[in-house]
């Protein structure tokens, strides 16, 4: 399973890079590092006291916007390490009012479990930026449905982003879980390309006894 996933993602990354290099397309993205007191994935606890790193890039492929994102979470206390990779394309309709993306999402735990999912998502570019996304596991036929809203505020001293999301995920072919998250993130530019941020989140799921709150800090470098 892992060998097939690695081969597939290597082929996709190579295709995107070759296509991008064949055009005079702009490349932009960011690199981030940070710390979080908890890490949750679809309402389920993954680890505690976590160091996180990420890199993402956006570029053009055959007239479409393409993206590649990678993130890793390394546990300092209880729990597992986790690695995520997303690749896909996106485009806009209705004079850029509606953005649609499709792609593949791969995630892997240090315990050995690795999954590959296809996804499709849509965002209406208006107040609260309502977003919906559907994931479908390519091997086990499990699905995840998510919906979220967010809004940003310029406070002068910092930029504040508030968000809320809900989801329903299949834990198995017979068991599903509903989950919810509220978040607030404040960021401040240190230079033209470097931002510092702090976040606070509330997370709950119907198959857990208690909700949880957690926070994080970090830096992001844009290129």
The predicted model gives 113-135 an average pLDDT of 96
Long-range Cβ contacts of 102-109 (<8 Å, 24+ apart)? 103/67, 104/8, 104/9, 104/12, 105/135, 106/5, 106/9, 107/41, 107/82, 107/83, 108/2, 108/5, 108/82, 108/83, 109/46, 109/80, 109/81, 109/82
Whether 180 has a pLDDT exceeding 70, the answer reads: yes
- Choose the weakest-confidence range: 1-15, 48-62, 76-90, 198-212: 1-15
Q: What is the pLDDT of residue 62?
A: 74
Tokens describing residue 43: 């309402």
Whether 1 has a pLDDT exceeding 50, the answer reads: no
* CB atoms inside a 10 Å sphere around CB 127: 8
Q: What is the pLDDT of residue 111?
A: 72
The predicted model gives 63-82 an average pLDDT of 93
Tokens describing residue 100: 């649609």
Cα-Cα end-to-end distance for the chain = 34
Q: What is the pLDDT of residue 191?
A: 96
Query: Taking the domains of the chain in order of start, what are their residue ranges?
Result: 2-222
The predicted model gives 173-191 an average pLDDT of 97
As a whole number of angstroms, the distance between CA 167 and CA 165 comes to: 7
pLDDT band at 54; cut points 50, 70, 90: very high
Q: What is the mean pLDDT of the chain?
A: 90
- Choose the weakest-confidence range: 8-22, 116-130, 186-200: 8-22
Token pair 């978040």 is found at 183
**Beta bridge mates, 22:** none
pLDDT band at 18; cut points 50, 70, 90: low
The predicted model gives 170-179 an average pLDDT of 95
Closest of 207, 163, 171, 200 to residue 38, by C-alpha: 200
Name the phi and psi angles at 41, rounded to 5. Answer: -135, 115
The predicted model gives 146-165 an average pLDDT of 97
Q: What is the pLDDT of residue 69?
A: 97
pLDDT band at 3; cut points 50, 70, 90: very low
CATH number for region 2-222: 2.40.160.40
């Amino acid at each position: 399973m892992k060998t097939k996933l690695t081969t597939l993602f290597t082929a996709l990354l190579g295709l995107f890079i070759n296509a991008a290099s064949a055009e005079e397309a702009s490349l932009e993205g960011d690199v981030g590092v940070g710390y979080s007191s908890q890490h949750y994935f679809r309402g389920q606890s993954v680890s505690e006291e976590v160091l996180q790193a990420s890199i993402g890039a956006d570029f053009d492929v055959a007239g479409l916007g393409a993206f590649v994102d990678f993130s890793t979470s390394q546990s300092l206390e209880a729990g597992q390490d986790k690695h995520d990779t997303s690749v896909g394309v996106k485009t806009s309709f209705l004079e850029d009012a509606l953005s649609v993306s499709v792609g593949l999402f791969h995630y892997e735990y240090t315990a050995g479990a690795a999954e590959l999912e296809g996804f499709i998502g849509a965002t209406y570019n208006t107040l609260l930026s309502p977003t919906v996304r559907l994931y479908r596991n390519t091997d086990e036929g499990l699905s995840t449905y998510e919906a979220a809203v967010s809004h940003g505020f310029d406070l002068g001293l910092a930029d504040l982003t508030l968000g809320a999301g809900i989801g329903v995920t299949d834990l198995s072919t017979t068991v599903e879980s509903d989950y919810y998250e509220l978040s607030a993130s404040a960021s401040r530019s240190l230079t033209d390309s470097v931002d510092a941020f702090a976040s606070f989140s509330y997370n709950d799921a119907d198959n857990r006894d208690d909700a949880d709150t957690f926070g994080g800090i970090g830096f992001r470098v844009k290129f």
